[in-house]
Structure 1
């Protein structure tokens, strides 16, 4: 596989004992989908599909009105959300990705409450009936921040991959958002370098994460 921003990927020829290896656009590694464009759109879409499939398998429990909505939400958190958020520590969450994840969160709640799309109830009304607020993005960001702090303190290869700079000129057009930029914005840490510096103090970093979660951003 060649990972590149170019629309036309370079063709590579790798042979093992005279047999040419097939060049792939994507493949699964440790159950996460790796794409040649370097984005995680396909992986997020795959996670959403898997989570919805498993939700349907537990439909008799998750939509059972004889069970309190609090208990059903707890079951959702234990059995469905881990499938959805697997590997999310490495996701770069664009606005489009965030909208898809938030839509999935509401998809779960509407089906748990058996609210048809024809009912034309707003998301705020659904959240009120479910006795909850939007939590999914905050949970993902918290996991990302916790993992990011661990990587920064280790100062190993993962640190270099996350913070390193590539040589050469930037490509034209809007630049892709980096993981650290999204986290910095969520934590309201000012600049990326300030966020990296803050990870060295465990207590300070945990306090920043807790404050961001409390703000519900």
Structure 2
């Protein structure tokens, strides 16, 4: 890999990706939002490599050559990391109390809106972890963290 590309990848990992994912721990991400993040990420990665879409180079090849994990996987890892952090908090802390809050009332007609907890449950199912693991911080991080390929 060229020296300029190595520097660009370091900048991407330390500046651009955190900006893309800022506050993502509490997003209820829809498929369209994930797709937008993926497109923005791939545009930046292609630009760093000097590759255009006309060159017909696959996204997996670009991501593999730069050794960068997909931004959507990082998003899920961040969300699960925050969930584990909240579950380990003291029972009297406001974030822990809000997590188990039940609001009385009724929902409108139609499909319910996607909630943050729905995203967390699907992420946990995808990673194969349960709530019982949240108490052990190192085990939780090992099972939920998404690292960049080496």
Structure 1 length normalisation: TM-score?
Answer: 0.57
- What is the number of equivalent residue pairs in this alignment? 146
Higher strand share: 1
Superposition RMSD on alpha carbons, in Å? 2.9
- Counterpart of 2:94 in structure 1 is 157
Q: C-alpha separation between the residues in 2 aligned to 1:117 and 1:101?
A: 17
Report the CA distance shift for 1:131/1:76 in structure 2 as closer, same or farther (over 3 A). Answer: closer
The alpha-carbon deviation at position 108 of structure 1 amounts to: 0.9
Higher RCO (CA < 8 A, seq sep 6+): 2
The alpha-carbon deviation at position 153 of structure 1 amounts to: 2.0
Tell me whether 106-115 or 116-125 shows the greater mean CA deviation. Answer: 116-125
Unaligned runs of 5+ in 2: none
Unaligned runs of 5+ in 1: 1-64
Does residue 111 of structure 2 align to residue 174 of structure 1?
Answer: yes
Q: Which has the larger radius of gyration?
A: 1
Q: C-alpha separation between the residues in 2 aligned to 1:119 and 1:203?
A: 43
Higher helix share: 2
Structure 2 length normalisation: TM-score?
Answer: 0.78
Tell me, what secondary structure is at the counterpart of 2:88?
Answer: helix
Tell me, what secondary structure is at the counterpart of 1:185?
Answer: helix
- Counterpart of 1:86 in structure 2 is 22
